[in-house]
A and B are shown apart, each in its own frame.
Chain A
Amino acid sequence: MAVGRATRNIDFVGGWRKWFAVSLAVIVLGLAAIGLGRLNLGIDFTGGTEFTLNDPGSGVTADGVQNAVPSGVAGEVTAQRLGNGNFEVTTPPLSQSESAEVRDALSSQFDSEVSTTNVSPTFGGQVRDQALQAVGVALAVIVVFISYRFEFAFATAAIAAVIHDILVTAGVYALVGREVNLVTVVAVLTVLGYSLYDTVIIFDRIRENTPEGEYERSRFDRLINDSIRQVITRSIYTSLSTLIPISALLIFGGSTLSDFAFALLVGILAGTYSSIFIASPVLSLYKARRGARPQREDEPQPGQV
């Protein structure tokens, strides 16, 4: 109950300007980084060829690996060391024979197993479209689902929170310069599901606490605050219990899984924050606008003055 007690004095709904400002700052920074072209799109989206050298041993440097690529075959080559001692070499899309040439050169020079991935630019474009489509469809279906299980106001608030999470995750990726690949997109979609789940749990409590009868703003806001306080312990514990296995993936999982885990880590932190500090205030603000309307029919709408 320590968490519950500590939050007794926080006005989750009334303090929305503060919470929104924090998120806005992160999002603006992230969008600026994306605008500056810092988003590092991997070959899954752009097309290209990637070689992974399996643990060539100590004493091997990224520069050494880069120089081992036969010149004239590959064009622009970048090499980097991965966390687990493997090296990754990325080039523009190569033909099968060119790719075999580079692979053989690398594997003979470092006496190491080389794995390759070759993605054509067309396919990269398709993957990108598919990913965006998946996000779009997911958002639409969720609006319908939450409108059905709750009401439209809840759906609006939940979507606001989810868009917040996607923007924050994308922004953080641009800020830290980590590679965005297919795995990242899967992680973002997963976060979308998770963040919604978190939001749904809070909304469920709000729904349960909502009395029959007329909507009244101050009473509804108080009720949201109370509902959050009732479930905040659960929110934090759940985040912890999800972050524990994710941290294990981040630490032990090798490069692919750690990429995935990083996106989840950022997304789940954002998602936990957004369910409490974004979704709930948005619900209150939306309800206040909509709920106020019927009584003020002959007056100008707020915001149009």
Chain B
Amino acid sequence: MPSRRNSLLILGLVAILLAAAVYLIFIRQPVSQATQLGLDLQGGVSVQLEGYRTDGSEVERDEMERAVQVIRERVDSLGVTEPEIQIQGQDQVSVNIPGITDTERAVEVIGRTAQLGLYEVLAYEQQDNVPEGEVQSAEDDLRQSLKDDSEFEEGETKILFEESPALEGEGTYVAGYIVSEQPQITGGALDSATVGVDDQSNRIVQMNFTREGGQQFTDLSQEISQSTLGAGEPGRLAIVLDDDVESAPVVEQAIPGGQVSISNDSLPGGLPQDEAEELQVVLETGALPVNMRVLSVTTIGATLGAASLAGGLIAAAAGFALVLAFLTFIYRALGMVASAALLIYAFLLWGVIVAVPITITLPGIAGVVLALGVAADANIVIFERVKEEVRRGKTPRSAIALGYQKGFRAILDGNLTTIIVAMILFGLSSGSVRGFAVLLSIGVLLSMFTAVVVTRALLGLISSRGGLNLTPRMLGVSPDSIRPAGRGSESGEKARVR
């Protein structure tokens, strides 16, 4: 049993911690803003992406870090608040954006590799008015026939396609272009991109080159303008984004000034507003260093989130109240002390969640509730020991001391196994599971403090001189079951040698 002075010291520490928790939760900001809620509780979009390379080689960690940078800029330019972007494992990244619902646009903007390339067109063929559903076979035909072209050389050149609404009439305009394997100018030469209009008031995305890039572009356009395609046709420049040809304008003379634009002349008004903005964002933020494929997309509506939060809180509160009632019923005075400790535990846990801060998710709530069971258990282990000692004839005071002494090792081992499992979960899993593991671990650690140290100090204070005189009945032990001290009985006692 700790001395009265030590008990007071511990309880003083608890009081300070509680005061800190009150400050963090209620005073520092309005209480409604204190706790960070996860997507599943407030609604939003969560996207899981995987980086990969077309040649199948491993993605490097620093490439993923650069990718995250780019994604962060893109998400910021969507104008949303507090996105959470994390690398997971070697090649995955999770993007959580609270409060948006336009999943399609978010995914399109985030996951787009946006590899920009400018190529000199070596040869091309086209088909207009391709009916819907036959685009693929039209491309296959074009590829077949372009492979016979004298400009095509396996390994040195590749064939890229353009698909756009037909120039006149129904269907799709499909064109195949033979270009060199590597682009003559890459996205690195780009300085900025802006949405603007051309002379016909059609919406375009204007790309502005860096000084060096501008020089490269002047040289390239010069070269193209002097070349001809097939039957004396003027040379063309292919503007390619992610292996799709956006447009392939004719270049009749060298273009100085370092500007080139992406347009869509076949649509009235040019590029649609959102497509233009999206293009501007991906060009402006630069290319992702690796390709990204979407692994999973989750959209949670705000109403569903709110309902989950309410359900989780009610469940936690009900569970909590019932556990307190249960402990008090079984262990009487001891149970009340344990209940006080559990209340302290709950409040300190909230304080930790706000202080770190930890984002609360549904699995996180589950972790908190489970840790509540573990916290109650620590007290049960100790109190069962105490009752056992009381039945052996010990005074409540020394029984309590022995109970803590003997119960502690079991609690330590038990809680360590729980924390080990939580750590494995944390290390090997991702996203929401991690929230569960974190809260379970913190809950278990905190519960060791409140259920062992704090209850012990409380009991020390209660049973110290001048305090309450605890009787066996107050500990939930009926006087009949107490055996006189000193008389060993029962086989369990015989086996005990120590």
Question: Which residues from chain A sit less than 8 Å from chain B, CB to CB?
Answer: 1, 52, 54-55, 84, 86, 96-97, 99-100, 103, 113-120, 122-123, 126, 130-131, 133-134, 137-138, 141-142, 145-146, 149, 182-183, 186, 189-190, 192-194, 196-198, 200-201, 204-205, 208-212, 219, 222-223, 226-227, 229-231, 233-234, 237-238, 240-242, 244-249, 251-254, 256-257, 260-261, 264
Contacts and interface: CB of A to CB of B under 8 A. Distances in A.
Interface string B133-152: 00000000000000000000
Contacts of A118: 294, 296-298
29 contacts: A54-B301, A96-B108, A115-B300, A115-B304, A116-B103, A119-B295, A130-B430, A190-B370, A193-B421, A197-B417, A204-B413, A209-B492, A209-B495, A219-B495, A226-B492, A240-B326, A241-B376, A245-B370, A246-B369, A246-B370, A246-B373, A249-B315, A249-B319, A251-B318, A252-B315, A254-B307, A254-B308, A257-B362, A264-B370
B425 A186 contact: yes
A245 B410 contact: no
A252 B420 CA distance: 29
Contact of A201 (B50, B376, B381): B381
Contacts of A115: 298-301, 304
Given A120-B296, A138-B424, A238-B380, A145 B417 contact: yes
Interface in B345-382: 362-363, 365-366, 369-370, 372-374, 376-377, 380-381
Nearest to B322: A244
Given A118-B296, A222-B495, A251-B315, A200 B429 contact: no
Contacts of B295: 119-120, 122-123, 126
B69 interface: no
Given A222-B495, A257-B315, A260-B363, A142 B417 contact: yes
Contact of A114 (B50, B301, B381): B301
Contacts of A99: 103, 297
A258 B54 CA distance: 42
A245 to B, nearest CB: 3
B296 A257 contact: no
Contacts of B300: 115
B372 A245 contact: yes
Contacts, number: 241
B40 interface: yes
Nearest to A241: B376
A226 B494 CA distance: 10
Interface string B288-332: 000001111111111110011001101110111011001100100
Nearest to B365: A257
Contact of A244 (B323, B365, B425, B497): B323
Contacts of B415: 197
B318 A248 contact: yes
Contact of B319 (A210, A226, A233, A244): A244
Contacts of B314: 248, 252
Contact of B103 (A96, A256, A257): A96
B417 A248 contact: no
A248 B322 contact: yes
Contact of B304 (A113, A119, A205, A233): A113
B363 A183 contact: yes
B468 interface: no
Interface string B43-61: 0000010100000000000
A242 B370 contact: yes
B409 interface: yes
Contact of A138 (B319, B374, B384, B421): B421
A257 B254 CA distance: 65
Given A97-B104, A113-B302, A118-B297, A237 B330 contact: yes
Contacts of B377: 197, 238, 241-242
A241 B299 contact: no
The 9 closest A-B pairs by CB, nearest first: A245-B319, A242-B373, A193-B421, A123-B295, A248-B319, A254-B311, A113-B301, A197-B414, A204-B410
B65 interface: no
A126 B497 CA distance: 53
Q: Which of B302, B315, B372 has the most chain A CB within a 10 Å cutoff?
A: B315
B203 interface: no
B440 interface: yes
Nearest to A195: B417
B428 interface: yes
B200 interface: no
Contact of B424 (A96, A141, A223, A261): A141
Contacts of A244: 319, 322-323, 326, 373
Contact of A256 (B308, B409, B416): B308
A189 B363 CA distance: 13
A149 to B, nearest CB: 6
A254 to B, nearest CB: 4
Contacts of A100: 103-104
Contacts of A120: 293-296
A136 to B, nearest CB: 10
B481 interface: yes
Contacts of B18: none
B103 A252 contact: no
B409 to A, nearest CB: 6
A223 B495 contact: yes
Interface string B401-422: 0000010011001111110111
A116 B296 contact: no
A52 B319 contact: no
Contact of B491 (A52, A117, A226, A234): A226
A137 B376 CA distance: 28
